[in-house]
Amino acid sequence: MLNCAVVGATGYTGAELVKILLRHPRVNLVALTTRQVTSIPLQNLIPGISKKNSLEVRKFSFPEIQQKADVVFLALPHTEAMDLSAKFLRVGKIVIDLSADFRLRSSAVYEKWYGVKHQAKRLLPKAVYGLPELYRDKIRKADLIANPGCYPTAACLGIAPLVKDGLVELDSIVVDAKSGVTGAGKKLNPATQFCEVDENFYAYKVGRHQHTPEMEQVLSEAAGTDVRLTFVPHLLPLRRGILATIYLKKRAGVRASKVRESFEQAYGDEPFVRVLPDGEFPTLQKVQETNFCEIGFTSDPGSDTLIVVTAIDNLVKGASGQAVQNLNVRAGFPEEEGLLR
């Protein structure tokens, strides 16, 4: 049994993480904390818990976590994890950080896209990007795991094998992604009031979303050379899920069958990536409340465009489920533990 703490347990991501960990047979939840002052019975936060469960979300206390936990999950807004991560690492904890703070290798890129100074640059080289399908071996030994963004997870899983295997051009990738509203977090926001979202749909941060460099970093590492892409996110009038429609140019001479081979080779043994048969494409309902990424694809008839569609649950494979998958990899647990129906 591994003793785990969740710092920031009341946001959408934190609560989802607690929900998953509650059911994990090898995890002991030793501390759930929030920056809010009062303590909250976990039963008020998460539906479906036994009336006899006495767990509480309590005010954050470093000494308490230091004493009790082996692994610390940080589910905090960007920038708030930097300092804490360093402190927990210093006292020997494994840190799985769900914020963006340690995902980008370059602090300059981070500072450009997030508009704030990076306060823990020296930790960046130690951080491992927690996308198990691409970085599993490094995650096994990492003490600081930077859990990927939701959009980069959906996009990179649909693109990485293709750029790695040299099947597509690297200068004309388009990711048109659509996300549910939990992706925006629980913060009070006029744009996410019900009457503004319901029966509505729109693109936002067009070509300027901060997840763009994260995708480019992952894909460049997969390709072994620079990859640039165009990324446009949209807001869907629903709670959970990201669907990414990805447009790529096949390289000259690449046969259609190569694409399936590439995906099958990359994901045939992956527990949480499902490559769909020809003619099938993912839906959000098929991945909601699961840690799966589903991938469908086709060649556009009469052009050299390849269309790849991926879907994940932004709170699970796009955040908390992936964090638990990373925990399983790091702890040497079976990778599906706690993450299946």
Binding segment toward a second copy, per CB under 8 A, in 28-36, 110-118, 122-130, 187-195: 187-195
| Residue 201 interacts with a second copy (CB under 8 A): yes or no | yes
Catalytic hit among 150, 156, 195, 293: 150
CB of residue 257 to a second copy, shortest distance in Å: 17
What backbone phi and psi angles, to 5 degrees, belong to 254? -80, 120
Neighbouring-strand partners of residue 299: 306
Which helix (DSSP H) or strand (DSSP E) does residue 145 occupy?
strand 144-146
x-or-dash string of contact with a second copy, 239-258, rule CB under 8 A: xxx-x-x-x-x---------
Q: Is 48 helix (H, G, I), strand (E, B) or coil?
A: coil
The identity of residue 140, as a single letter, is: R
x-or-dash string of contact with a second copy, 48-67, rule CB under 8 A: xxxx----------------
| Residue 276 interacts with a second copy (CB under 8 A): yes or no | no
| Residue 11 interacts with a second copy (CB under 8 A): yes or no | no
* DSSP output for 222-277: HHTS---EEEEEEE-SSSS-EEEEEEEEBPTT--HHHHHHHHHHHHTT-TTEEEPP
| Count of residues that interact with a second copy, criterion CB under 8 A | 79
In 3D space, the residue among 16, 72, 3 whose CA is nearest the CA of residue 291 turns out to be 16
DSSP 148: P
CB of residue 8 to a second copy, shortest distance in Å: 17
| Residue 292 interacts with a second copy (CB under 8 A): yes or no | yes
| Residue 260 interacts with a second copy (CB under 8 A): yes or no | no
Among 107, 196, 251, 258, binds a second copy (CB under 8 A): 196
Catalytic residue check, 4: no
Look-up: residue for tokens 């198990």?
132
Among 238, 251, 331, 337, binds a second copy (CB under 8 A): 238
| Residue 136 interacts with a second copy (CB under 8 A): yes or no | no
CB of residue 292 to a second copy, shortest distance in Å: 7
Alpha carbon of residue 137 to chain centroid: 18
| Residue 332 interacts with a second copy (CB under 8 A): yes or no | no
| Residue 225 interacts with a second copy (CB under 8 A): yes or no | no
Between residue 20 and residue 39, which ones bind a second copy under the rule CB under 8 A? 22-23
Q: What does the block give as tokens for 179?
A: 């996300």
Cβ–Cβ < 8 Å for 83, 97: no
Count Cβ atoms within 10 A of the Cβ of residue 286 and give its class: 0-12 exposed, 13-18 middle, 19 or more buried.
Answer: middle
CB of residue 312 to a second copy, shortest distance in Å: 12
Which residues have a catalytic role annotated? 150
